[in-house]
Structure 1
Amino acid sequence: MAHKSDNIFAKPMQSVRDFAFDEAVADVFPDMIQRSVPGYESIIHTIGEIASRHVSTHSRVYDLGSSLGAASLSIARATADHPCEIIAVDNSPAMTERCKRIVAGFSLPNPIKVICDDIQNVVIENASMVVMNFTMQFIPPADRKALLNKIYAGLNPGGVLVLSEKIRHPSTAGNELLIDLHHQFKRNNGYSELEISQKRAALEKVMLIDTFADHEKRLRDSGFADVVMWFKCYNFTSLVAIK
């Protein structure tokens, strides 16, 4: 099925409002994410590969900030030999309603329970895997450490957290290079200068990014024994933190 094209920021706006995962975004999200995040398909596929290695029988998997359920579906398909419960959580009603319909359209070896809630309210327990796929960057910075502590406490020994994030390079020149390369990636995928500029303005106050060192320190301070960066392209990265 063809996805609707993302043209949310295609026309000049008198005032650019803060980005929100509303009906308009949910309607074009697959196209938006493919054209905006380099390596997204590889990340989703590899989340399934990691799940096949780490998800244990009769444990739980939490997909926090699940949007339309891409990571949850990848995990469900990859864990056919390991009966488990997959819990997909997102605070956007528009996203979770669509996610429920998408999930219902597949015959899956492991069920996916879709919940509309703030991920900071969710109890994590008996987890062999937790996924935050471009989610932490939308959590208030002051709340990030407590969320990681909760995840770590709810993971079983040997459990993993997959954390994908847009990151900031520590030097100004290096960071500007990565931003420029990312903007060129968007241009190559058909976004105009106006779209790139207006979306950047919309995200400025709601997507607050850290350096890789910031992420690694928080994860280790929370107790994780190892932090492995397995993917990086421009200013996008994905890592595995192992308990």
Structure 2
Amino acid sequence: MNGDFSFDTVQQFDDHIDLSIPTYSNLREAILRLSTSFVKTDSTVYDLGCSTGLLLSLLANQVPGSVRLVGIDVSINLLQQSSDLRIERHRMDLASERFRLTPTDLVFSIFTLQFLPVIARQSVVDKVYEALEPGGAFIVAEKTFIDDGLIQDLFTFGYYDMKLKNFTAEEVLDKQLALRRIMRPQTEPENLKLFTRFARIFPFWQYLHFKAWLCIK
């Protein structure tokens, strides 16, 4: 990884994420296993902040060919890193008023809300809720802040120790400086407040301060 990290220039993004987020492959596997319980033969599935579309590509191997798979991302660089013809790919800012969803049974938002303006996140989640069919699911993963300073430090430096197995100290610092300008994680209670309209909300994966929830309408 050379220079400042940027979604608009990073290459081999999927490999980079696998090395950057602890046990990311386990999270992806859990998402795929949960997804098959919500996808019907005529379902539409959205991935908000789909990056290269890998998650949808893997899901396509497990669901009927009639399922519509739609990936949305703001980075043309990431969208162009996949040529999977099974996936509709749309470039759009989720925080814009133009963002809309058609009726859907399943929506992913995997480490995406944290890159949106805080003031826009509730609107995005509300649009997801309103588009979901009854019994549909919103699967969300976010990096969180911990309310306890000691635990936050323990988790942060434990995470840095993990990253230093794959990146140099300079690369780790450069990325943190770059993300400081574009990423705004919130605490778990602040994230959960976004999902209060859902009938069921349950955490299904966590590593340090990275966490995922299953939200069912």
TM-score, length-scaled by structure 1: 0.84
For residues 61 and 182 of structure 2, what CA distance do their matches in structure 1 show?
32
* Partner residue in 2 for 1:157: 134
Give the deviation of 1:57 after TM superposition.
2.5
In the TM superposition, what are the counterparts of 1:113-192 in structure 2 within 5 Å? 113-120=88-95, 121-189=98-166, 191-192=167-168
Residue 30 of structure 1, CA deviation: 2.2
Gaps of 5+ in 1: 1-6, 10-15, 105-110
Residues in 1 aligned to 2:111 and 2:31: alpha-carbon distance in whole angstroms: 13
Q: Counterparts of 1:56 and 1:213 in 2: how far apart (Å)?
A: 32
Report the CA distance between 1:8 and its aligned residue. 2.1
- Is the CA contact (8 Å cut-off) linking 1:88 and 1:112 kept in structure 2? yes
Q: CA deviation at 1:44?
A: 1.6
Higher mean C-alpha displacement, 132-141 vs 82-91: 82-91
AA at the equivalent of 2:188:
F
- Structure-2 separation of matches of 1:164 and 1:118: 19
Larger radius of gyration: 1
1:70 & 1:50 partners in 2: Cα distance? 16
Unaligned runs of 5+ in 2: none
Equivalent pair of 1:44/1:74 in contact (CA under 8 Å): no
Q: Distance in 2 between matches of 1:61 and 1:173?
A: 39
Tell me what 1:22 maps to.
8
Moved more, 150-159 or 121-130: 121-130
Does residue 41 (structure 1) correspond to residue 18 (structure 2)? The answer is no
Residue 199 of structure 1 aligns with which residue?
175
Contact preservation (8 Å) 1:65, 1:133: yes
Give me the whole-angstrom Cα distance separating, in 2, the residues matched to 1:119 and 1:62.
12
State the Cα distance separating 1:28 from its structure 2 match. Answer: 2.9
Matched, 1:72 2:56: yes
Offset at 1:233?
A: 0.4
Structure 1 counterpart of 2:15, from 31, 39, 51: 31
Q: Secondary structure at the match of 2:101?
A: coil
Question: How far apart are residue 157 of structure 1 and its match?
Answer: 0.2
Identity across matched positions, percent: 26
SS in 2 for 1:20: coil
Deviations along 1:146-178, one digit per CA (max 9) or x if unpaired, are 111111000000000010111111111111111
Equivalent residue in structure 2 for 1:232, among 206, 210, 213: 206
Answering whether residue 202 of structure 2 is matched by residue 216 of structure 1, we say: no
Matches of residues 77-92 of structure 1 in structure 2 within 5 Å? Answer: 77-80=61-64, 83-92=66-75
1:74: Cα distance to partner? 2.3
Aligned to 1:12: none
Contact 1:51 1:79 (8 Å CA) reproduced: no
1:61 equivalent in structure 2: 45
Structure with more strand by fraction: 2
Specify the alignment match of 1:112 in structure 2: 87
Aligned to 1:4: none
Q: What SS does structure 2 have at the residue aligned with 1:167? A: strand
Which digits, 9 at most, give the CA deviation of each residue in 1:73-106, with x for residues without a partner?
12212213x731110111111111122x2x14xx
Equivalent AA in structure 1 for residue 57 of structure 2 = L
Q: Deviations over 1:204-237 (max 9, x none)?
A: 12110011111111101xx101111100001111
Number of equivalent positions: 215
Kindly report structure 1 stretches of 4+ aligned residues shifted beyond 6 Å.
Answer: none
